[in-house]
């Protein structure tokens, strides 16, 4: 670990509980008032991203840090009233708190509010009105490939009244997060077989084995690798590798950009010799085959 990173670690005397539970590793990111580190829980060995905030009473402790600590310590019955956030992601109670005098404020329920494509509108005032009224639809092309279970979960998260909105615990037990795909696929087979059938017992055992082998962490890592591969391919298209002089000398026509330059130069030099008729193929200039007109001219000039 570098000396600079060691200097940013919390004081061991002031953070005894932290060091007793976690082993801090490298820095993942820095902010104005805090540092995010990769930490390993000593008891379980599980990795976490820990946000380390200095809460000492030094002069360097800013008001922003103190306000962030206060928000992190809020309980369910406490409310906030500040207007902050991206317009498309604001919950209705955040907007109402800053528009009406008799509102109670907002709490952690705003984190369960989903504010992405359903509420988008080119006019911001219309978008904010739709958020406050819970007026949305799944008609845009972005939602064409989204499953019904996902839409059902989003509908339960987009409830205007925070008391009726899904909590984190309710969202996690929603069918969208449950492994039910294989069960749904074999339902017709189960209905066609008798309860005492040996084939039914084998199919049920296979379904149970698949559930046991399902690893959500591995699936998530696979998704991350796929996204990284797509990003890398996209960057390769946008930022191609530099062309070496040696490769361009050996076979310049194999390189697409050089091939276009060569063709363009050739047409500028020999273009007045190439016919412009509708039946003329300009690509014939570069074909590695005998030209019909030249062959005819040659045959006609051969002495009998």
How far apart are alpha carbons 196 and 185 in whole angstroms? 20
Cβ-based burial of 233 (10 A; exposed 0-12, middle 13-18, buried ≥19): exposed
Annotated binding site: 51
How far apart are alpha carbons 287 and 282 in whole angstroms? 10
Beta-strand relationship, 22-30 and 47-53: unpaired
The dihedral sign for the CA sequence 241, 244, 250, 253: positive
Q: Is 295 helix (H, G, I), strand (E, B) or coil?
A: helix
Annotated binding site for ATP: 51
Cβ atoms within 10 A of the Cβ of 236, count?
10
């Amino acid at each position: 670990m570098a000396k600079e990173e060691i200097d940013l670690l919390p004081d061991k005397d002031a953070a005894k509980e932290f060091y007793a539970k976690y082993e801090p590793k490298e820095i993942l990111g820095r902010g104005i008032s805090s540092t995010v580190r990769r930490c390993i829980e000593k008891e379980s060995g599980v990795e976490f991203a820990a946000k380390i905030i200095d809460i000492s009473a030094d002069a360097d402790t800013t008001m922003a840090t103190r306000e962030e600590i206060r928000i992190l310590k809020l309980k369910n019955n406490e409310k906030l009233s500040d207007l902050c956030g991206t317009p498309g992601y604001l919950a209705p109670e955040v907007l109402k708190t800053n528009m009406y005098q008799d509102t109670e404020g907002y709490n952690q329920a705003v984190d369960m509010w989903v504010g992405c494509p359903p509420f988008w509108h080119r006019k911001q005032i219309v978008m904010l009105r739709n958020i406050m009224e819970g007026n949305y639809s799944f008609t845009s092309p972005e939602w064409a490939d989204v499953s019904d279970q996902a839409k059902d979960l989003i509908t339960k998260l987009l409830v205007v009244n925070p008391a009726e909105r899904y909590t984190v615990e309710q969202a996690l037990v929603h069918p969208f997060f449950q492994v039910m795909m294989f069960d749904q696929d074999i339902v017709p087979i189960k209905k066609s077989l008798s309860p005492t059938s040996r084939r039914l017992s084998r199919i049920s055992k296979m379904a149970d084995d698949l559930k046991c082998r399902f690893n959500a962490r591995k699936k998530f890592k696979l998704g991350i690798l796929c996204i990284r591969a797509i990003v890398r391919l996209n960057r390769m298209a946008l930022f191609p590798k530099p062309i070496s002089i040696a490769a361009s000398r050996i076979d310049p026509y194999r390189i697409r950009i050089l091939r276009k330059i060569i063709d363009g130069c050739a047409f500028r030099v020999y273009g007045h010799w190439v016919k412009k008729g509708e039946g003329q193929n300009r690509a014939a200039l570069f074909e590695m085959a005998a030209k019909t007109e030249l062959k005819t001219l040659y045959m006609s000039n051969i002495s009998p």
